[in-house]
Amino acid sequence: MTEQKSFDAESGKEEFSANVVQDENSGVITEAEKALRWKQDKRIVPLSAGIYFLCYLDRSNIGNAKIMNSSTGDDLMTETGMSNTQYTIALMIFLVAYGLFEVPSNILLKKLKPSRWIAFLMFCWGALTMGLGGVNSYAEVTVVRFLLGVFEAGLFPGLVYYLTFWYKTEERSIRVAFILASATLAGAFGGAIAYGIGHMNKAGGLSAWRWLFIIEGIPSCLSAFLVWLFLPDYPEEATWLTIQERDLAVERLRVEGSKGHHKAMSLSDAMATLTDWRLWAHYVVYFGISTPFSSLSLFTPSITAGLGYHDLHAQLMTVPPYAVAYVVSILTSWSADHFNARGLHSAGMATIGAIGFLASAVLPADAYASRYGCLIVAASGAFACIPPLLGWLSSNIFSTASVGLAIALNIGLGGAPGQIVGVFIYKPNEATAGYPTGHWTNAALLFMVGVGCVALRIYYARRNKKILSVGGEDIRLFKY
């Protein structure tokens, strides 16, 4: 099979989209493939999910540190002398670095090999997380958070890109879900861990929030060595596969995926990716989901504190929303892949999340039980629509050299600005009113995500209809 150019019926131009030879057996999964895929899954998915679990734990624990033992004045805010505005800036500066360094990180991942680059990132962000346990001022917090953003920036887009080396398009959403859903587990365990560490206040002369950063940074540093040794890079080099399995792994991705032996991205590949407007539609949609993702990641402890819970109890009550979101995310992604309907699944879950935020906004501020239930619904919808979105994007990028750039742009240009917005919408002075600005903003953006997904779904259906009307043997249709 060879890659070819095709004629775009809409633009009248030759392009590199929808032009790759279609495998007539693409819908058939042999027993050998199933066995190979399961062998890959056991090696790749748990390790990747564990890496992202530690990453998310280390980036979001500042939300727990903010309120930990605040009633006794032993919290992060009091001991560093930070105001709420300065705290917000410290959160934002992390996301600025996060957005700036995603694209270069994905380029380095391919050049330096995934295992080496990801291990290096892990060790650095783990050390920086431990360093947060020693900060004493707003300036120190801001500098360390910026550096943390630099080294965490490449992980999630890098892992999504990494999966294209090993899995076909219709196999990625559920695996992205297991990785991303580890963030919800980190949120759940983060609250439980914070609850336990909160009882270590003044142990060894250190406040509990300092112990939180130190204890949660250590596993990332230690795990970096395991990642260097055990994370496989490319199927062609996998010594843990038999020769026959390696050949099969390469053969089944001969049309799709970004193979390890493929050339690096050229300038023409980059320009084609940057000027493909439909990809920018994906970026806009991802912006819409990133704000709820960011705000929930950083402010769930504060939101639960505003629901009548206090100190360590507030942190413990962050566990159920994340636990439910984990289950919903996995089920949604499995269904999206099974029915080949990623766009509609994302639209449906975004709408459910929007309804949860909308209900939280209109309910009375003292309706604590009802608003806590709405938080669970909102978190489940917001988190569950992200994996199908990422699987949908990577399924519809047909240039194997530029898929890493498109994924990084999606998270860097769409995700990072959206996460920056999420830093500002939960205003401390609205705690007693139930944070209406945050809930209304998230509801509006999630409704936008739903509409955007449906619009893209309709667009791809029309493009496929035109492609089929032109006919020919060497075609590849857009995935829904």
- Residue whose C-alpha is closest to residue 384's, from 466, 453, 436: 453
Angle between helices 319-338 and 172-197 (to 10 degrees): 170
pLDDT of residue 312: 66
User: Is residue 414 a contact partner of residue 324, using CB atoms and an 8 Å limit?
Assistant: no
Given this model, what pLDDT does residue 215 score?
95
Phi-psi region of 22 (alpha: psi -120 to 50; beta: other; left: phi over 0): beta
The number of residues in the chain equals 480
Sort 365 into a burial class: Cβ within 10 Å, 0-12 / 13-18 / 19+.
middle
Q: Which CATH class is domain 35-470?
A: mainly alpha
Q: What is the rounded distance in angstroms from the CA atom of residue 467 to the CA atom of residue 167?
A: 25
pLDDT given for residue 18 in this prediction:
37
pLDDT of residue 12: 35
* Per-domain residue ranges of the chain: 35-470
Residue 67 confidence (pLDDT):
81
The single residue listed with the structure tokens 């759940």 is 188
The C-alpha angle with vertex 383 and arms to 381 and 389, in degrees rounded to 5, equals: 95
Cα–Cα distance, 458 to 343 (Å, whole number): 10
- Give residue 128's Cα distance to chain centre: 21
Looking at residue 404, what is its pLDDT? 73
> Rounded to two decimals, what is the model's pTM?
0.78
Long-range contacts at 140-143 (CB < 8 A, ≥ 24 apart): 140/80, 141/76, 141/80, 141/82, 141/90, 142/86, 142/89, 142/90, 142/93
Q: Tokens 């060879």 label which residue?
A: 2
**Tokens in use for 23?**
């495998």
**Angle, helix 31-67 to helix 114-132, in steps of 10 degrees:** 20
Q: Return the amino acid letter for 161.
A: Y
CB distance 255 to 20 below 8 Å = yes
Can you tell me the distance from the alpha carbon of 452 to that of 162, in angstroms, rounded to the nearest whole number? 27
Q: Encode 22-41: b = buried (16+ Cβ within 10 Å), e = exposed.
A: eeeeeeeeeeebeebbebbb
Q: Which two tokens stand for residue 69?
A: 């033992």
Q: How does DSSP classify residue 3?
A: B
Q: Which helix (H) or strand (E) holds 142?
A: helix 138-152
pLDDT 10s per residue in the chain (480 long)? Answer: 333 333 343 333 334 333 333 433 345 678 889 999 999 999 999 999 999 999 989 988 898 888 888 878 888 999 999 998 999 899 889 988 988 888 888 888 878 889 999 999 999 999 999 999 999 999 999 999 999 999 998 898 889 888 888 988 778 778 888 888 887 788 778 878 888 898 898 898 899 999 999 999 999 999 999 999 999 999 988 999 999 999 999 888 876 555 555 555 567 777 878 888 889 999 999 999 999 988 988 788 778 877 777 666 776 788 888 889 889 988 998 898 888 889 999 999 999 999 999 999 999 988 888 989 999 999 999 999 988 898 888 788 766 557 777 887 888 788 888 888 988 899 888 888 889 999 999 999 999 999 999 999 999 999 889 888 887 666 777 787
Q: Give the model's pLDDT for residue 25.
A: 39
Residue 373: exposed, middle, or buried by beta-carbon count in 10 A (0-12, 13-18, 19+)? middle
